[in-house]
């Protein structure tokens, strides 16, 4: 019978906590028993045994070996009881965390599953609209882009469903970075134009071969779109949002920089916490409502892929986020797509 993944994770956490606390308790017991051992052995020395005492003094003699054996048994029992007690307490302590994790995964899985049918219907209707339009219709590119957006959204929903069921990447996927950056820039270009902001992809450091990362295309696109959306939301009108890709022997770093007012009112490291907010900059520019989820999702995607995300720089001149992901090496990188 297949056991629930969340239940397995909770049980493992409880065991780890129990073992750690038991080891600490065992250390304390060993120290105490060791001190008693030392005292008994000291009292058993010839000098102490033959020490003269007053006539009215009562002395009790015990067998040294029997006493040391009893102490050893008591110490072992104390260690065992401490381990069992801490394991039991840890199990009870992590139950609420396990239930919260189960509810979170259930909600994400249910929501993702329920969205798949409407997205399928939407895609079918867009295809119907495409078939009814003539090839020379100037609205055709927009409808084509709408169909691609629908396909991308369906892929995002599928990725959320895989994440909720803990059926993620197996580490064998290889995704060219440049193509996904270009796709994310195209996705956000419409939003950027509404805010009079330009998104610029400054190229990458992959040489003649496009650098690739060890993750699937959909989560990579999700992370890039979230970073660009955050940058566009904080960029002043008339400014550029820059995307730059650089490669090291083991990682690929994608830097997204805006020219806003920087992170204020919050520790920069906390912007990756869910529902965390900085202080909105004053100004006439219209700002969208932020729920403090986008950057948290970027960190979750990065960690799931074995990478990280950090604040590279922030200040009055703007903010730069750096997404670092494992690079595909050993000649496994796909060739750079031919641009026409």
pLDDT in tens, 40-73: 667 666 655 555 655 556 555 556 667 667 777 7
pLDDT at site 338 = 42
Tokens 């690739």 label which residue? 212
Identify the CA nearest to 235 among candidates 274, 204, 263, 197. 197
Provide the sign of the torsion angle of the four alpha carbons 20, 21, 27, 29, taken in this order: negative
For residue 63, give both structure tokens. Answer: 């067998």
As a whole number of angstroms, the distance between CA 251 and CA 146 comes to: 33
The DSSP element (H or E) to which 150 belongs, if any, is: helix 140-164
Question: Do the bridges between strand 198-204 and strand 240-247 make them parallel or antiparallel, or are there none, so unpaired?
Answer: parallel
Q: What tens digit of pLDDT does each residue of 273-316 get?
A: 877 766 665 444 455 556 667 888 888 889 888 899 999 988 88
Query: What one-character-per-residue DSSP string does 37-75 give?
Result: HHHHHHHTSHHHHT----TT-------HHHHHHHHHHHH
Q: What tens digit of pLDDT does each residue of 87-126 get?
A: 777 777 767 766 766 666 676 666 766 777 777 788 788 8
pLDDT at site 68 = 67
CB count in 10 Å sphere of residue 277: 13
How confident is the prediction for the chain on average, in pLDDT? 75
Of the pLDDT bands very low, low, confident and very high (cuts 50, 70, 90), residue 194 is confident
The DSSP element (H or E) to which 315 belongs, if any, is: strand 308-315
Q: In the predicted model, what is the mean pLDDT of residues 136-158? A: 78
As a whole number of angstroms, the distance between CA 205 and CA 116 comes to: 37
pLDDT at site 325 = 93
| Residues 288, 233 contacting (CB under 8 angstroms) | yes
**Quick one: angle between helices 140-164 and 217-234, nearest 10?**
110
Decide if pLDDT at 19 tops 70.
yes
CB count in 10 Å sphere of residue 183: 17
Of the pLDDT bands very low, low, confident and very high (cuts 50, 70, 90), residue 256 is very high
As a whole number of angstroms, the distance between CA 172 and CA 170 comes to: 6
């Amino acid at each position: 019978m297949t056991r629930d993944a969340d239940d397995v994770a909770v049980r493992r956490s409880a065991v780890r906590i129990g073992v750690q606390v038991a080891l600490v308790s065992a250390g304390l017991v060993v120290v105490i028993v060791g001190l008693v051992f030392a005292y008994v052995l000291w009292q058993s020395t010839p000098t102490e045994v033959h020490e003269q005492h007053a006539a009215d003094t009562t002395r009790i003699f015990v067998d040294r070996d029997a006493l040391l054996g009893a102490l050893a048994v008591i110490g072992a029992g104390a260690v065992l009881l401490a381990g069992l007690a801490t394991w039991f307490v840890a199990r009870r302590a992590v139950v609420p965390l396990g239930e919260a994790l189960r509810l979170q995964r259930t909600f994400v899985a249910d929501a993702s599953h329920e969205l798949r049918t409407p997205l399928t219907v939407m895609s079918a209707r867009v295809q119907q609209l495409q078939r009814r339009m003539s090839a020379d219709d100037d609205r055709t590119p927009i409808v084509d882009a709408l169909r691609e957006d629908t396909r991308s959204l369906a892929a995002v929903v599928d990725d959320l469903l895989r994440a909720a069921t803990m059926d993620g990447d197996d580490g064998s996927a290889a995704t060219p970075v440049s193509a996904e950056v270009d796709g994310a820039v195209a996705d956000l270009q419409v939003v950027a134009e509404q805010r009079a902001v330009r998104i610029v992809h400054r190229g990458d450091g992959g040489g003649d071969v496009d650098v690739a990362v060890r993750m699937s295309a959909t989560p990579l696109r999700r992370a890039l779109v979230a970073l660009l959306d955050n940058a566009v939301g904080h960029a002043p009108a008339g400014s550029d949002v820059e995307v730059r890709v650089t490669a090291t022997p083991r990682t690929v770093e994608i830097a997204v920089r805006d020219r806003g007012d920087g992170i204020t009112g919050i520790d920069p490291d906390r912007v990756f916490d869910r529902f965390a907010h900085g202080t909105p900059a004053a100004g006439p520019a219209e700002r969208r409502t932020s729920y403090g989820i986008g950057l948290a999702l970027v960190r979750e995607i990065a960690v799931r892929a074995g990478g990280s995300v950090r604040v590279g720089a922030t200040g009055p001149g703007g903010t730069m986020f750096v997404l670092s992901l494992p690079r595909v090496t050993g000649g496994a990188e796909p060739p750079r797509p031919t641009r026409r």
